[in-house]
Chain A
Amino acid sequence: MTTAPPRPPGVGTGVADEFFDALTRADEQHALDVAGGLVAAGTPVADVLLDLVGPAQQRVGLLWQRGEWSVAQEHAATCINERVVAAVGGLARGSGERGHIVLGCLDGEWHSLPARIVGEVLRQHGWRVTFLGASVPTAHLVSYLHEQGPDVVAVSCALPVHLPGAHRTIAAAQRTGTPVLAGGPGFGADGRWARLLGVDAYAATATEAVGLLDSGRWADVPGGAGHAAVPESGGAEYCGLRARRSALVRDAVDALGGASPLAGGGGTLDGDAYDDTGQLVDFLAAAVYLQDRDLFLDHVRWLGLVLAARGVPTTGVRTTLDSLDAGLHDFPFAQGCIADARTVLAAEVSR
Chain B
Amino acid sequence: MTRHGVNADADRSTTAPPRASARPAGPEHRPATEPPTVEAHLLEGSRTGVIACDERRVVRSANAAALRLLPGLAVGEVLPAGPAGLPSSADGETVELEVGGRSLAARRQDLPHGWSGWHVEDVTEPRSRTDNLLAERARSRFLAEASNRLKLSLHPGRTARAAAQLAARLADAAIVVLPVAAGTVQWFRCGTDEAGSGRLPARELPEPVAAALDGRTVPPAPLLPAELGGEPWAPQAPTAGALVTALPGNGKPAGALVLLRHGDRPDDAGPDAALVHEFAQHAGIALAAAALYAQQARTAGVLKRSLMEPRLPEVEGVTLGAAYRPAEEGLLIGGDFYDVHPCRPDDPNGTMLLLGDVCGKGVDAAVSTGQLRQSVRALRRVEPDPVRLLELLDATMLEAVPEDADPRFATLVLGTVRPLPGGGLRLVLAGGGHPAPMVVRRDGVEVVEIGGTLVGGMRRARFRSRTVDLAPGEACVLYTDGVTEARGGFDGAQLFGEERLAETLRGCHVLPAPGIAERVVQHADRWLASGNHDDIAVLVVQAPLPVGPAAGRRHLHAVTAAEPTTTGAEEEPA
Contacts and interface: CB of A to CB of B under 8 A. Distances in A.
A70 B509 CA distance: 13
Given A26-B554, A27-B553, A139-B329, A177 B149 contact: yes
A28 interface: yes
A161 to B, nearest CB: 11
A239 to B, nearest CB: 16
Given A30-B553, A82-B564, A223-B149, A146 B297 contact: yes
Contacts of B50: none
A84 B331 CA distance: 30
A132 B553 contact: no
Nearest to A102: B567
Given A108-B525, A135-B525, A149 B157 contact: yes
B289 to A, nearest CB: 11
Contact of B490 (A30, A219, A249): A249
A335 interface: no
Interface residues of B, number: 60
Interface stretch (A5-13, A56-64, A199-207, A270-278): A270-278
A27 B489 contact: no
A173 B301 CA distance: 21
B559 interface: yes
Interface stretch (A72-80, A288-296, A306-314): A72-80
B574 interface: no
A140 B329 contact: yes
A148 B522 contact: no
A133 B511 contact: no
A108 to B, nearest CB: 7
A176 interface: yes
B479 to A, nearest CB: 17
A107 B564 CA distance: 19
A86 B563 contact: yes
Nearest to B488: A274
A167 interface: no
A134 interface: yes
Nearest to A89: B565
A27 B155 contact: no
B508 A72 contact: yes
Interface string A164-200: 0000000000011110000000000000000000000
B254 to A, nearest CB: 16
B561 A83 contact: yes
A142 B330 contact: yes
B489 A147 contact: no
B561 A32 contact: yes
A95 interface: no
A29 B525 CA distance: 31
B59 to A, nearest CB: 57
Contacts of A79: 511-512, 514-515
B526 A149 contact: no
B527 interface: yes
Contact of B556 (A28, A70, A140): A28
B149 A26 contact: no
A107 B525 CA distance: 10
B541 to A, nearest CB: 16
A235 interface: no
A177 B162 contact: yes
B564 A72 contact: no
Interface residues of A, number: 62
A30 B554 CA distance: 9
Contacts of B553: 25, 27, 29-30
B149 A222 contact: yes
A145 B154 CA distance: 9
Nearest to B528: A108
Contact of B512 (A76, A142, A145, A278): A76
B532 to A, nearest CB: 11
Contacts of B492: 246
Contact of A28 (B294, B329, B525, B557): B557
Nearest to A151: B158
A225 B301 CA distance: 28
Contact of A147 (B159, B301, B490): B301
A218 interface: no
B565 to A, nearest CB: 6
Given A26-B510, A142-B330, A130 B567 contact: yes
A208 B154 CA distance: 30
A275 B510 contact: no
B165 A220 contact: yes
Contacts of A75: 508, 510-511, 515, 519
B155 A137 contact: no
Contacts of A278: 490
Given A28-B556, A79-B514, A246-B492, A146 B500 contact: no
A223 B547 CA distance: 53
B566 interface: yes
B507 interface: yes
A28 B514 CA distance: 13
A133 B569 CA distance: 14
Nearest to A76: B510
A152 to B, nearest CB: 11
Interface string B512-524: 1011001100100
B178 to A, nearest CB: 12
Nearest to A28: B556
Interface in A218-275: 219-220, 222-223, 246, 249-250, 253, 272, 274-275
B298 to A, nearest CB: 8
B537 to A, nearest CB: 15
A28 B158 CA distance: 42
B555 A26 contact: yes
B155 A140 contact: no
Contacts of A149: 153, 155-158
B330 A139 contact: yes
A272 B527 CA distance: 10
Contacts of A246: 490-492, 529
Given A90-B561, A277-B490, 12 more contacts: A26-B554, A27-B554, A72-B510, A76-B510, A76-B515, A89-B565, A110-B522, A131-B564, A133-B566, A177-B153, A246-B490, A249-B490
17 contacts: A25-B553, A27-B555, A29-B557, A76-B515, A87-B561, A108-B526, A110-B525, A132-B566, A132-B567, A139-B328, A140-B329, A142-B330, A146-B297, A176-B152, A177-B158, A223-B148, A275-B527
Of all A-B residue pairs in the complex, the 7 with the closest CB atoms, nearest first, are A149-B155, A177-B152, A137-B329, A139-B330, A79-B515, A87-B561, A177-B153
Interface of B: 148-149, 152-159, 162, 165, 195, 293-294, 297, 301, 328-332, 488-492, 494, 500, 507-508, 510-512, 514-515, 518-519, 522, 525-527, 529, 531, 547, 550, 553-557, 559, 561-568
